[in-house]
Structure 1
Amino acid sequence: MLLANLVMMGEIPAPTFGEEERINFLIDRFKEADLQENSIDEVGNGIGILKGDIGDENILVVAHADTVFDDKTDHTIKVLKNMVQGPGVADNSLGLSTVATLPTLLERLGIKLKNNLILMGATRSLGRGNLEGLRSFLSNYDEPIKAGIGLEGVELGRVSHTSIGMKRGEIQCRVPEEYNWSRFGNGSAILTLNEVINKINNIHMPQRPRTSIIMGSISGGSSFNTTALKATLQFEIRSESSEQVQSIHQNFEEIVSEVASKSGDSIELDIFAQREPGGIPYTHPLVRNTRKILNKLDLEPRPGPSTSELSTFIDRDIPAVTLGLTEGDHIHEVNESIKIEPMYKGIAQTIATLKAIDGGYCEEA
Structure 2
Amino acid sequence: MPHNKILRGAVVQTGIPQLDQETYLSVKTLKDSAKVTRALQIAFDEAELGMKEQVELCGIPAPTFQEALRAEEIVRRMKAYGLSDVTTDDIGNVIGFRPGKGNGPVLAIGAHMDTVFPATTDVTVRQEGNRYFAPGIGDNCSGLRALLQIIRSLNEADKHTEGDIYFVATVGEEGLGDIRGSKYFVATHKIDGFIAIDNTEIGRILKGAVGSHRYRITIEGPGGHSYANFGEVASAIHAMCIAGNMIAHIKTPTNPKTTFTIGTIQGGTSVNSIAPSCSVEIDMRSVNNEALLQVESEILACFDKAVAEENALWSITDPAKQVHWKKENVGNRPAGMRPDDCPVLQVARSSLKALGQELTNYGVSSTDANAPVSMGIPATCLSSGGIQHKCHTIHEYFDKVDIHLGPQLLILTALGLVGCEGFKPLLPKRE
Deviations 1:295-326 (A, max 9, x none): 34333342222332222213443211111223
Q: Which residue of 2 is the match for residue 299 of structure 1? A: 358
Number of residue pairs matched by the alignment: 361
1:180 pairs with one of 215, 225, 232 = 225
Write the mapping of 1:128-277 to structure 2, written as runs, cut at 5 A: 128-141=176-189, 144-172=190-218, 176=221, 178-182=223-227, 193=240, 195-215=242-262, 217-218=263-264, 220=266, 232-263=279-310, 267-277=325-335
Residue 214 of structure 1: how far off its partner (Å): 4.2
Q: Which residue of 1 is the match for residue 80 of structure 2? A: 32
Letter in 1 for 2:415: K
User: What are structure 2's unaligned runs of at least 5 residues?
Assistant: 1-48, 311-321
Residue 219 of structure 1: how far off its partner (Å): 5.2
Letter in 1 for 2:380: V
Residue 267 of structure 1: how far off its partner (Å): 4.8
Q: Matched residues in 1 for 2:185 and 2:113: separation? A: 14
Residue 254 of structure 1: how far off its partner (Å): 2.0
Residue 232 of structure 1: how far off its partner (Å): 4.8
Q: 1:214 to 1:10 in 2, by over 3 A?
A: farther
Write the mapping of 1:37-56 to structure 2, written as runs, cut at 5 A: 37-54=85-102, 56=104
1:17 pairs with one of 65, 78, 85 = 65
The answer (yes or no) to whether the contact 1:279–1:311 under 8 Å persists in 2 is no
Q: Which residue of 1 is the match for residue 175 of structure 2? A: 127
Q: Secondary structure at the match of 1:325?
A: coil
Q: Matched residues in 1 for 2:408 and 2:230: separation? A: 61
Letter in 2 for 1:40: T
Deviations 1:300-354 (A, max 9, x none): 3422223322222134432111112233221211112222104222222111211
Q: Matched residues in 1 for 2:357 and 2:149: separation? A: 24
The answer (yes or no) to whether the contact 1:64–1:122 under 8 Å persists in 2 is yes
- Structure 2 residue 123 is matched with structure 1 residue 64: no
Residue 259 of structure 1: how far off its partner (Å): 3.0
Letter in 2 for 1:206: P
The answer (yes or no) to whether the contact 1:286–1:361 under 8 Å persists in 2 is no
Q: Matched residues in 2 for 1:81 and 1:183: separation? A: 66
2:404 pairs with one of 330, 341, 344 = 344
Pick the structure with greater CA Rg. 2
Q: Which residue of 2 is the match for residue 103 of structure 1? A: 151
Identity %: 22
Q: 1:77 to 1:224 in 2, by over 3 A?
A: farther
Q: 1:83 to 1:137 in 2, by over 3 A?
A: same
Q: Matched residues in 2 for 1:79 and 1:192: separation? A: 51
TM-score by length of 2: 0.73
The answer (yes or no) to whether the contact 1:218–1:231 under 8 Å persists in 2 is no
Q: Which residue of 2 is the match for residue 280 of structure 1? A: 338
Bigger drift between 35-44 and 158-167 goes to 158-167
Q: Which residue of 2 is the match for residue 311 of structure 1? A: 370
2:415 pairs with one of 348, 355, 363 = 355
Deviations 1:37-58 (A, max 9, x none): 1111111111111233456542
The answer (yes or no) to whether the contact 2:208–2:287 under 8 Å persists in 1 is no
- Structure 2 residue 121 is matched with structure 1 residue 73: yes
Q: 1:136 to 1:284 in 2, by over 3 A?
A: closer
Letter in 2 for 1:363: L
- Structure 2 residue 348 is matched with structure 1 residue 290: yes
Letter in 1 for 2:427: E
Q: 1:158 to 1:179 in 2, by over 3 A?
A: farther
Q: 1:190 to 1:86 in 2, by over 3 A?
A: farther
Q: 1:163 to 1:179 in 2, by over 3 A?
A: same
Residue 199 of structure 1: how far off its partner (Å): 2.6
Q: Matched residues in 1 for 2:191 and 2:405: separation? A: 26
1:114 pairs with one of 155, 162, 168 = 162
Q: Which residue of 2 is the match for residue 333 of structure 1? A: 393
Q: State the superposition RMSD in angstroms.
A: 3.2
The answer (yes or no) to whether the contact 2:205–2:363 under 8 Å persists in 1 is yes
Q: 1:231 to 1:5 in 2, by over 3 A?
A: farther
Deviations 1:156-176 (A, max 9, x none): 3221132244312333456x5
1:320 pairs with one of 379, 402, 419 = 379
Q: Matched residues in 1 for 2:428 and 2:83: separation? A: 31
Letter in 2 for 1:247: Q
Q: Secondary structure at the match of 1:153?
A: coil
Letter in 2 for 1:66: D
Q: Secondary structure at the match of 1:91?
A: coil
Letter in 2 for 1:36: S
Q: Matched residues in 1 for 2:298 and 2:228: separation? A: 31
Letter in 1 for 2:115: T
The answer (yes or no) to whether the contact 2:343–2:378 under 8 Å persists in 1 is no
Residue 239 of structure 1: how far off its partner (Å): 2.3
Residue 147 of structure 1: how far off its partner (Å): 1.8
Residue 230 of structure 1: how far off its partner (Å): 6.5
